[in-house]
Structures are given as structure tokens and as C-alpha cells.
């Protein structure tokens, strides 16, 4: 696998036979999470195809020509033609294997997969999720000399890593870039000695047996499990949204705002995330239109005042998107005026969606007791309805979801587990 520039695109990709090409950016957590998976899949298929990476920021003309609108984006080429389905956003190892089928066929992919030898590893504690909650639990357990594995489908850092600036984390006088704050947290836990298994696919979890399968071939057995999987952005669920995700529609301003220099975008949402991220996007975009369903914003007063005083931000209150379509400019958004029921189209360069979050629970098969909003119920020690399984941070039932509350949960679960294991 090697890095190329747009100058080599013609020779290496269009005349290169079977090729897999990864467009990546800097300050892009999903790109960093993809990097080790891309490298390992490239090694497995070294005899079948050529694997290249290309830095999107320095090869903008090529990425625009190929309509690459999100980072990372992986494209598959055969004899100069793009084949299969493009991958973008949080790309899993499994997705890369699926993508390879278009290039080398199902049988070859199966053959390669079958050669991977299964392994079993044992730990006292397995933590699922490396956001502030999981990292803090990892730190306390590690300092208590408890053999702990921290597993994340991405890179450690969680939602903090994609937050532009954090101004309410104690210990820092000035606002800290979220990316750096999460880096410090992660390094502290890692340097203590916690085993990291990150940027992996979590393919199966058995909470009763305390077994976690990663990348389909490694089984991790533990005495206790901490679920710290946090939340993911909600989708609007309107036509065209899924199709244009990573191709004009983004859920991460830190990752994608830089591609909208002097462009016009819409931001959907009116809570803290939407308003703070809209303000951040105006560092790049010439105009940001906030589309929000209510007649008032829900963000806190400070964020609202900043947005109202920002000349680049305008508001479409009591409006809701009804659909997205690809356009020559970028994206056509159909919005409905909720008072008059009139619909109109906005042709914009891109759309950012921040309409709340949902707990990441898909792997747990509804076996856990949840609250009315679908978050995991716990007791005072952060233990769930399944003995030996704990839930911390945003995924757990609580009133306020912040970095400090996630960290507090991680601390409580780790101390409680330490006492249990010491008995």
C-alpha cells in the first residue's frame, strides 16, 4: 500500500488493473480509524489488487472531479472503471471485505477470510468504547493492576474527538480542542498499560458469557464487561439522506467543514451541537442557514447569542427538511414551512445535520433493562440488569450527558469492579 497524488492517478489507478483507493483527510477520526483496517486488508489482498491512499486536502481538484464529498471515501477500480459501491464515513473491516467482492469475486474473499486463524484472549475486564467514560474506567482499572482490554470500533476519544472546542472541562483555563483533550485522555490510559484493541469490528457480544468477538476471529473473554459505547447522531429519516451521506451531507463539522471554504451550507437542528457547530462552520463557509423545526433555538444562551451576532448565520425557524437530492451545486434540500405547509427548495453546497443522538446498543440484543428513552438502566455502582455487566457515560440512563458525567460514571464502575474482583 502506498500514498499517491493526483498526478499519478491516471497511471496508477486508471491504468492500474484492480485498484482500491482511499481518500483521507487530517483531523478526521473516521479516517484514522480506517487506516489500520485498510492496511491489514491491503496485506491480505496483496496478490489481488493495488491499494493506494490519497490526501484529499492536497488533491481537491481530483476529489471534486470524482465527486468525493466526505472523508474517508474508498473507491474500487477495475481497468480504469469504478466498480462496486463506494464506502464512506465509519467504514468497517467487514465493509472493505464486501467491497473487495466487486473486484476479486466472492470466492476469493471467502478464501482469504478462511485463512485467518481464530484466537482467544482473556482479561479481567473488557471495556466496550473508548470515549471519556471508557477511558476513565480503563485508567482506574489499570492503576489498580487489573488486566483490562479497551475495545473501540473507532479510535479512542469518542464524541470529544470530533468536538471543535471544549470550554467546560475542569483543569484548563482556555477552551481546549476536543481532539487534543481526547488524545491526552487516551494516552494517559494507554501509557498506564491498558491493552488497546481499537479500530476493530465488534462482530458479536455475549453479555451473559462475557465474551466479545472482534474482527470475526478474536474472542475476548472477561470476568466483567463495561459498556461505554456512547451515542451516535440521529438521522432525519427523509428521502435522499442516506444516499447523500458523505456525498454532500455530513454529521461531523470537525471532519468536513474545511471543504466548504467560501461556500454556502445549511445546518439542520437548534440544540447546542447544531448552534455551536454552525458557528464553527462559519470559519470556512461564507453563509450558514440554520433550519430548525421550532420557533426558538434550544441551545444555551451563550451559544445562541454568539450565533445571533454572527453575520454569516441566518435562520429558517419553523421549517423542516423533507428530502435531499443531488444537484450540480451540491445538494438540493426541500424544506417545509411548518406554519403555512408550503414547500420550497434550497440549492446549497452542503448540509450538516445535528438533530440529537441515540444510544449505541445494537449489539446487545435487547437483553439489558432500558429506560423509556432506550438508555441502559444501572444501579448506584453502574451495574446493569445483567450481573457483572456495567454501563457508563452517555449510553447509560441519566439526566445530563457531559464529559464530566461520563468520567464520573467510569470512575464509579472501575472502583466498584476493583472491589468485587479483590473479594
Ligand X SMILES: Cc1cc2nc3c(=O)[nH]c(=O)nc-3n(C[C@H](O)[C@H](O)[C@H](O)COP(=O)(O)OP(=O)(O)OC[C@H]3O[C@@H](n4cnc5c(N)ncnc54)[C@H](O)[C@@H]3O)c2cc1C
Residues near ligand X (CB under 6 A) are 128-134, 151-154, 158-160, 163, 166, 168, 202, 228-231, 273, 277, 360, 363, 393-395, 401-404, 406
Compare residues 133 and 248 and give the one whose CB is closer to ligand X: 133
The 8 Å CB, 24+ separation contacts for 329-337 are 330/69, 330/248, 330/263, 331/244, 331/248, 331/249, 333/266, 333/291, 335/291
Q: Which is nearer to ligand X, 158 or 240 (CB)?
A: 158
Look at phi and psi of residue 304 and say left if phi exceeds 0, alpha if psi is from -120 to 50, else beta.
alpha
In angstroms, what is the minimal distance from the CB of 63 to ligand X? 25
* CB closer to ligand X, 325 vs 402: 402
Nearer to ligand X, 11 or 209 (CB): 209
Considering the complex, state which of residue 152 and residue 264 has its C-beta at the smaller distance from ligand X: 152
Give whichever of 108 and 401 is closer to ligand X, judged by the CB atom: 401
Q: How far is the CB of 34 from ligand X (least distance, A)?
A: 13
| Per-residue three-class SS string for the chain | CEEECHHHHHHHHHCCCEEEEEEECCCCHHHHHHHHHHHHHHHHCCCCCEEEEEEHHHHHHHHHHCCCCCCCEEEEEECCEEEEEEEECCCCHHHHHHHHHHHHCHHHHHHHHHCCCCEEEEEEEEEECCCHHHHHHHHHHHHCCCCEEEEECCCCCHHHHHCCEECCCCCCCCCEEHHHHHHHHHHHHHHHCCEEEECCCEEEEECCCCEEEECCCEEEEEEEEEECCCEEECCCCCCCHHHHECCCEECCHHHHHHHHCCCEEEEECCCHHHHHHHHHHCCCCCEEEEEECCCCCCCCHHHHHHHHCCCCEEEEECEEEEEEEECCCCEEEEEEECCCCCEEEEEECEEEECCCEEECCHHHCCCCCECCCCCECCCCCCECCCCCEEECHHHECCCCCCHHHHHHHHHHHHHHHHHHHHC
Rounded to a whole number of angstroms, the minimum distance from the CB of residue 378 to ligand X is: 13
To ligand X, the closest distance from the beta carbon of 68 in angstroms equals 23
Q: Which of 130, 132, 134 is CA-nearest to residue 168? A: 132
Minimum CB distance to ligand X, residue 302 (Å): 11
Pick the closer one to ligand X by CB: 16 or 393: 393
Task: Specify the length of the chain in residues.
Answer: 423
State how far the Cα of 269 lies from the Cα of 353, in Å rounded to an integer: 7
Is the Cβ of residue 100 or residue 391 nearer to ligand X in the bound state? 391
Question: In whole angstroms, how close is the CB of 100 to ligand X at the nearest point?
Answer: 23
> Cβ 294 to ligand X, closest distance in Å?
19
Question: Is the Cβ of residue 158 or residue 321 nearer to ligand X in the bound state?
Answer: 158
Minimal distance in Å, beta carbon 215 to ligand X? 12
Name which of 67, 300, 344, 256 is nearest 265 in CA terms.
Answer: 256
Q: In the complex, what is the shortest distance from the CB of residue 212 to ligand X, in angstroms, rounded to a whole number?
A: 8
Measured from the CB atom, the residue of 33 and 54 that comes closer to ligand X is 33
Least Cβ distance, residue 396 to ligand X (angstroms): 8
Nearer to ligand X, 21 or 275 (CB): 275
CB of 131 to ligand X, least distance (A): 2
Amino acid at each position: 500500500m502506498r500514498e499517491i497524488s493526483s498526478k499519478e492517478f491516471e497511471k496508477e489507478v486508471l491504468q492500474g488493473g484492480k485498484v482500491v483507493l482511499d481518500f483521507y483527510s487530517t483531523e478526521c477520526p473516521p479516517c484514522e480509524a480506517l487506516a489500520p483496517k485498510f492496511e491489514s486488508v491491503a496485506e491480505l489482498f496483496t496478490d489481488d489488487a493495488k491499494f493506494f491512499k490519497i490526501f484529499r486536502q492536497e488533491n481537491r481538484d481530483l476529489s471534486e472531479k470524482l465527486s468525493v464529498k466526505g472523508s474517508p471515501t474508498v473507491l474500487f477500480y477495475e481497468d480504469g472503471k469504478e466498480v462496486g459501491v463506494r464506502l464512506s464515513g465509519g467504514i468497517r473491516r467487514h465493509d472493505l471485505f464486501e467491497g473487495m467482492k466487486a473486484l476479486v469475486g466472492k470466492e476469493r474473499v471467502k478464501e482469504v477470510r478462511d485463512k485467518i486463524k481464530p484466537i482467544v484472549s482473556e482479561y479481567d475486564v473488557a471495556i466496550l468504547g473508548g470515549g471519556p467514560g471508557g477511558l476513565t474506567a480503563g485508567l482506574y482499572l489499570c492503576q489498580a493492576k487489573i488486566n483490562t482490554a479497551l475495545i473501540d470500533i473507532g479510535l479512542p476519544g469518542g464524541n470529544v474527538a470530533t468536538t471543535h472546542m471544549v470550554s467546560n472541562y475542569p483543569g484548563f483555563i482556555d477552551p481546549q480542542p476536543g481532539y487534543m483533550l481526547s488524545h491526552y485522555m487516551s494516552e494517559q490510559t494507554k501509557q498506564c498499560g491498558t491493552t488497546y484493541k481499537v479500530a476493530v469490528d465488534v462482530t458479536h457480544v455475549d453479555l451473559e458469557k462475557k465474551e466479545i468477538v472482534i474482527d470475526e476471529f478474536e474472542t475476548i473473554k472477561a470476568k466483567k464487561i463495561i459498556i461505554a459505547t456512547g451515542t451516535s447522531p440521529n438521522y432525519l429519516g427523509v428521502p435522499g439522506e442516506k444516499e447523500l451521506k458523505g456525498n454532500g451531507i455530513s454529521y461531523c463539522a470537525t471532519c468536513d467543514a474545511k471543504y466548504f471554504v467560501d461556500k454556502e451550507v445549511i445546518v439542520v437542528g437548534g440544540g447546542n451541537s447544531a448552534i455551536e457547530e454552525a458557528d464553527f462552520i462559519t470559519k470556512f463557509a461564507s453563509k450558514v442557514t440554520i433550519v430548525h423545526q421550532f420557533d426558538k433555538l434550544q441551545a444555551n444562551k451563550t451559544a445562541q447569542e454568539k450565533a445571533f451576532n454572527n453575520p454569516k448565520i441566518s435562520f429558517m425557524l419553523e421549517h423542516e427538511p423533507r428530502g435531499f437530492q443531488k444537484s450540480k451545486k451540491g445538494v438540493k434540500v426541500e424544506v417545509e414551512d411548518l406554519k403555512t405547509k408550503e414547500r420550497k427548495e434550497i440549492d446549497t453546497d452542503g448540509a450538516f445535520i445535528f438533530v440529537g443522538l441515540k444510544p449505541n446498543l445494537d449489539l446487545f440484543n435487547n437483553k439489558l433493562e432500558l429506560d423509556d428513552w432506550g438508555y441502559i438502566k444501572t444501579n448506584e455502582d453502574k451495574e446493569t440488569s445483567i450481573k457483572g455487566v456495567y454501563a457508563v457515560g452517555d449510553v447509560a440512563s441519566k439526566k445530563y450527558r457531559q464529559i464530566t458525567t461520563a468520567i464520573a460514571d467510569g470512575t464509579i464502575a472501575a472502583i466498584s469492579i476493583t472491589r468485587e474482583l479483590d473479594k
